[in-house]
A = this chain, B = another copy of it.
Amino acid sequence: MKSKLVQLLRENQGFFLSGEKISIELNCSRTAVWKHVNALRKEGYVIEAVSNKGYQLMQNEDLLSKHAILSRVKDNPLFHHIAFYDSVTSTNTIAHKLINEDVKEGVVVVADEQTAGKGRLGRKWASPKRSAIAMSIILKPKLDFRQAPQLTLVAAVAVTRAVKIVTGLELEIKWPNDLLIKGKKVCGILTEMQADSDRIQSIIIGIGLNVNQQHFSEELVDLATSLQKEGDRVFDRAELIAAILKEFTWLYETYITKGFSFIKPLWEAHEITIGKEVVARSASNTKTGIAIGIDEEGVLLLQDDDQDVHRIYSADISFEN
């Protein structure tokens, strides 16, 4: 009911909607409308109420709430169950807990803030309150566990397309899980799974996206950016989340029904590593060569000076100048 009310008010932003009109649309009493308006105000929505005119949703800062997201994903066939939190350690950690409680495929964990966001290899990822997107998608595909890294690539394509649609900004994909704007990191994807030797039991795709951050710390300012810094305006996080879920839905269904070969060219179209001379650093060694592509499992292929091709499963990639 609350999410329908948010949707109705948003569709009429800039105009007053009478309590009577709303009560008819929502099929409830005018007293109930008043109660829902007050509940939304407690969540932080600024709703003006004027006698004989009705209610109006005012422009406000980028508020994220379960209802704001639900009102935008109601038609999504896969992702319409949102587990929303004001603040969590990390949305992937919450997703692991939900999986142990046996949740179904398609649950999306969203938090306004992460206090211990996770990056690759135990690194930290900052998701400050009221400005970033921290979300984790739970899926249970019937796939061999060796295919899990492909889903990171599916998610990278989904985020790249959604950001383009909502903001007009072009993201660059850097294997395996970084999304950049002009070389600065704007999004990271952390895919985690529970699996046995036969198949994936469940998979968590964590997406951390810098949306409305205006400032980064001195040590990050040359490495990271946000959509707001690059696009010079504030973006609606709920709209971005819904767009990411929408793009992911059709890409995932294409991937499951037709295979990774249908996703690979979409990924390659935005990728900036392939064809370049790169350094691949892992905990155990460093390899230099030309990134000649990815294989069918999403593994990076690196050709060294002796023309030997190495399969890179896990590494940090930097560019040779």
Contact = CB atoms under 8 A, between A and B. Distances in A.
Nearest to A93: B100
B198 A314 contact: yes
Contacts of A201: 192
Nearest to A152: B197
A177 B196 CA distance: 12
A194 B198 CA distance: 14
A85 interface: no
A90 to B, nearest CB: 12
A120 interface: yes
A149 interface: yes
A226 to B, nearest CB: 24
The interface centre, meaning the residue of A97, A194, A283 with most chain B CB atoms within 10 A of its CB, is: A194
A208 interface: no
B96 A196 contact: no
Given A144-B314, A313-B144, A193 B195 contact: yes
Contacts of A16: none
Q: Is the interface of A mostly helix, strand, loop or mixed?
A: mixed
Contact of A197 (B142, B144, B149): B149
Interface string A254-290: 0000000000000000000000000000010000000
Nearest to A121: B198
Contact of A120 (B176, B177, B196, B314): B196
A318 to B, nearest CB: 16
A100 B148 CA distance: 21
A314 B199 contact: yes
A260 B229 CA distance: 49
A210 interface: no
Contacts of A96: 100, 194
A300 to B, nearest CB: 11
B197 A195 contact: no
Contacts of A120: 196-198
Nearest to A193: B195
Contacts of A314: 144, 197-199
Nearest to A297: B146
A152 B290 CA distance: 36
A301 interface: no
Nearest to A199: B314
A64 interface: no
Interface of A: 96-97, 100, 120-121, 142, 144-146, 148-149, 152, 176-177, 190-199, 201, 283, 313-314
Given A192-B195, A193-B196, A195-B195, 8 more contacts: A96-B100, A100-B100, A144-B313, A191-B196, A192-B194, A192-B201, A193-B195, A198-B313
> Which 10 residue pairs are nearest across A and B when measured between Cβ atoms?
A198-B314, A149-B197, A192-B196, A144-B313, A191-B197, A194-B194, A121-B198, A120-B198, A152-B197, A193-B195
9 contacts: A96-B100, A97-B100, A142-B283, A145-B193, A190-B196, A191-B197, A193-B193, A193-B195, A199-B314
